[in-house]
Amino acid sequence: MKDNSKIPGHAGRLKRYESFRILDNLRIRYYGKLRLAKSPGRSVGNRVVTELNPATEKTRTWMETLDIQGRPTVIHPKYGSKPHYVMDPETGKFTGETF
């Protein structure tokens, strides 16, 4: 996917998000600005992530909490009463849920 101008809403998302990345499955992830943690600890902060599937034009959005190396440790879907998904930062694998 070389011509990003043909992606619905891409220009608008570039204004709202800090960066983006095209995944192997051709979905596009937009990364919001990192909001730093208010107190020192395991987390450096969090950011909003939106993933767009250009084939269906559907999106999904979540919050990521990042460790000091920038790896996601907790993922929280934005809509509905869904749990927080805890990740192992070393492997990137799901380790459990919490509310």
Q: Tens digit of pLDDT for each residue in 49-94?
A: 999 998 898 999 999 999 988 888 888 887 766 777 887 877 777 7
Q: Give the E-state strand segments of the chain in sequence order.
A: 19-22, 28-31, 35-36, 43-53, 58-67, 72-77, 84-87, 94-98
Which pLDDT belongs to residue 51?
93
Which pLDDT belongs to residue 3?
67
Show the domain range for 39: 4-98
Q: Structurally, how many domains does the chain consist of? A: 1
**pTM, to two decimals:** 0.79
Mean pLDDT on 2-15: 79
The amino acid that residue 20 corresponds to is: F
